Amino acid sequence: MARISPSTIDAVNAQTDIVSLVGEYTRLERRGSDWWGRCPFHNEKSPSFHVVPDRKMYHCFGCGKGGGVINFLMEMDKLSFVEAVETLAKKTGIEVVYEGVTGPLPPRDDTREKLVELYDRVAGSFHWLLTDSPLGKKALDYLASRKVSPEIIEEFRLGYAPADRRWLYGFLSKKGYSPEFLAKSGLFSKKYPESAFFSDRLMFPINNRKGQVVAFGGRILEGEGPKYLNSGDMPQYKKGETLFAFDRALPEIRQTKSAIFCEGYMDVIAWHQAGVKRAVAPLGTAFTTEQAKLVKSFADTVYLSFDSDTAGQTATYKAILMCREAGFQVRVIEIMNGKDPADILFNEGPEVLIKTLEISIIDLDYLVSTAGKRFDIASPEGKSRASAFMFPYIEALESDIQRESTIQHLSAAFGIREQALLSDYKNRKQPRPAFQNGQEAEKPVKARNVRMNAELRAMLAVVANPAFFPTMRSSFASDDLEDPFARDLYIVLEECYRTDSTSVESLLERCPNEELRRLVTETLTGGEFADNAKKTVEDSIQLVRKNVLEKKRARLVARLGMLTGADGDRALAELMSEKQRIDEELSKLKDANE
């Protein structure tokens, strides 16, 4: 079976800058020689994600996830170990060497890469049809009528899907794509394999965070049908985990520590054309927890820029709750008279659109205003309904201080005594759980408490300083250890030693369970055994060696007491000799420690 060589793994680990890699997924801040940020694997409100550049490692003290550069990419991009190594090797210009190969390498599933390549090619073709072909004139005229600039058309690589549903199939077939591959590409009807999913539509390429085209959105230009169509989930694309224009918005999101959440493609484009380039949008669905998590790694504040109609108000309410649960500060951009950002840009210009951002209001004020319009707060029934409208918001706040302050604010706004409002809030139904893509959100899992003992400390000290493993293995074997974690670590180190695999990645790959991985990453990122390593390791080895010898001596003494008869006499000399050897070694260890 083909396996990536340890030398390749070590080279990839050595050449990859873990701070730069992790920094593509979450904002990191330097503290001393290490870096800290919010964990990209789970929602958290204060940074507990620790990156140690010297060891090429990360560990989250919130959810327990940890590892090295290869494992990080595997977790974030849902890649196999081989795919992650190959991706990082390509990025750093390292040749991937395989072991155990006697002929051609066995084929691996590269569907994801081929689909990304296909979607990039199709995006280029759609863009050419829009900008350079008479077929795209209708779509180009529509963009001109909405005052979308040529620069934005180019920047977002907007395109046009022809009205002829068979055009795309014929075009791609001539490029060498097989019917089987096209059938699973998501670009064609399942019922009619040669009929394109998108036709006669203005096309919006959807990029992943790396800027690769992974899906499409299409706006109808005339006739009947849904106003927008969006690609379904594919190996390279998950709708609920992707945001339109996130790759383009990320630099400004990093800089301002804020993002603008919009309803759709044209609103995002309007903000970017106005020069505010931190706007993003979901893809045909309401915002999800996963999408909020994408932004939370880099931003503290979100601005909600939704339509002012009833549907937009509902979307704003839901988004406020979700963003508050994610730990954001939230502001609402109010655009009145049924308009949206694209309307403002078209009718009043970029300055007016930017002004709406500057005069945005905090979410509490927006909700109080909305409640005042929806309910008759002059009546007892209206006060009760307005209060119930606000209770989910209070529940979503992250601290009791914020909740108390909000209740005081509502008391004054609705004319209700604080005590009555607080009583109703406490007696409400149990708060709804946080949801993630329709499922109850998974709570961060804490590692179980592991009982630290001399054996485990010794193994962790050597894990942190693997150059001392030859000394350890000459002192005792894995069978001499009683602690199961220590024994597992010894076996892992032995395998790494025999294959000359020196990287942390190689060690973590061999750990037999997640708990052991967490223990290793937490220890290494904590730096407990970094100082005075030689003495720490030697002392730990000596202590374990002493315990092993004492246990052996105790067993020998027990056996000596059981010996009887002629056979016992013959074995006595051998056992006494072994006991003497152990006593001498214990004496040496004692002298060495005095």
pLDDT in tens, 184-201: 999 999 889 999 999 999
- Is 494 domain-assigned? yes
- Is 447 domain-assigned? no
Q: Which of 16-20, 314-318, 440-444 has the highest mean pLDDT?
A: 16-20
In percent, the amount of the chain with pLDDT more than 70 equals 88
467 and 573 share one domain: yes
Which runs of E-coded beta strand occur in 16-68?
28-31, 34-37, 49-52, 57-60, 66-68
94 and 116 share one domain: no
In whole numbers, what is the pLDDT of the chain averaged over residues?
85
Single out the residue in 50, 81, 99 at which a domain terminates. Answer: 99
pLDDT in tens, 218-260: 999 988 888 999 999 998 999 889 999 999 999 999 999 999 9
7 and 89 share one domain: yes
- Is 446 domain-assigned? no
CATH assignment of the domain containing 182: 3.90.980.10
Residue that the structure tokens 């309410």 belong to: 317
CATH assignment of the domain containing 459: 1.10.860.10
Domain of residue 253, residue span: 245-440
Q: What is the mean pLDDT of residues 292-300?
A: 89
Asked if the model's pLDDT at residue 45 lies above 70, the reply is yes
CATH assignment of the domain containing 356: 3.40.1360.10
Asked if the model's pLDDT at residue 440 lies above 90, the reply is no
Distance CA 381, CA 556 (A): 85
Residue 153: what pLDDT?
Answer: 97
Q: Which of 37-51, 380-394, 546-560 has the highest mean pLDDT?
A: 380-394
249 and 148 share one domain: no
In terms of C-beta density within 10 A (0-12 exposed, 13-18 middle, 19 or more buried), how is residue 532 classed?
exposed
DSSP state of 466: G
Q: What is the mean pLDDT of residues 296-307?
A: 91
461 and 321 share one domain: no
- Is 449 domain-assigned? no
pLDDT in tens, 63-100: 888 999 999 999 888 888 888 998 999 988 999 888 76
Sheet containing 49-52: give its strands across. Answer: 28-31, 34-37, 49-52, 57-60, 66-68
- Nearest alpha-carbon partner for 476 in 454, 506, 496: 454
DSSP state of 434: P
In Å, how far are 315, 453, 487, 537, 579 from 544, measured between CA atoms? 62, 10, 12, 11, 18
Asked if the model's pLDDT at residue 391 lies above 90, the reply is yes
Residue 159: what pLDDT?
Answer: 97
Distance CA 302, CA 319 (A): 10
222 and 262 share one domain: no
415 and 532 share one domain: no
Residue 445: what pLDDT?
Answer: 42
353 and 256 share one domain: yes
- Is 448 domain-assigned? no
Residue 362: what pLDDT?
Answer: 96
pLDDT band at 263 (very low <50, low <70, confident <90, very high): confident
Distance CA 357, CA 554 (A): 78
Residue 112: what pLDDT?
Answer: 87
CATH assignment of the domain containing 61: 3.90.580.10
Residue 437: what pLDDT?
Answer: 38
pLDDT in tens, 125-170: 999 999 999 999 999 999 999 999 999 999 999 999 999 999 999 9
30 and 161 share one domain: no
pLDDT band at 4 (very low <50, low <70, confident <90, very high): confident
Single out the residue in 440, 468, 484 at which a domain terminates. Answer: 440
Which positions ≥6 away from 259 have C-beta within 8 Å?
249, 253, 278, 279, 280, 295, 298, 299, 301, 302, 303
- Is 430 domain-assigned? yes
Asked if the model's pLDDT at residue 532 lies above 70, the reply is yes
State the total domains in the chain: 4
- Is 516 domain-assigned? yes
Asked if the model's pLDDT at residue 207 lies above 70, the reply is yes
Single out the residue in 209, 237, 265 at which a domain terminates. Answer: 237
Residue 586: what pLDDT?
Answer: 66
pTM for this entry: 0.74
Amino acid code (one letter) for 524: L
pLDDT in tens, 315-329: 899 999 999 988 899
412 and 537 share one domain: no
Q: Which of 6-15, 43-52, 104-113, 174-183 has the highest mean pLDDT?
A: 174-183
305 and 400 share one domain: yes
pLDDT in tens, 547-592: 777 777 777 777 666 665 545 555 566 666 666 776 776 676 665 5
CB distance 24 to 51 below 8 Å: no
165 and 254 share one domain: no
| DSSP labels, 77-130 | HT--HHHHHHHHHHHHTPPP-EES-SSSPPP---HHHHHHHHHHHHHHHHHHHH
pLDDT band at 431 (very low <50, low <70, confident <90, very high): very low
- Is 583 domain-assigned? yes
Asked if the model's pLDDT at residue 38 lies above 60, the reply is yes
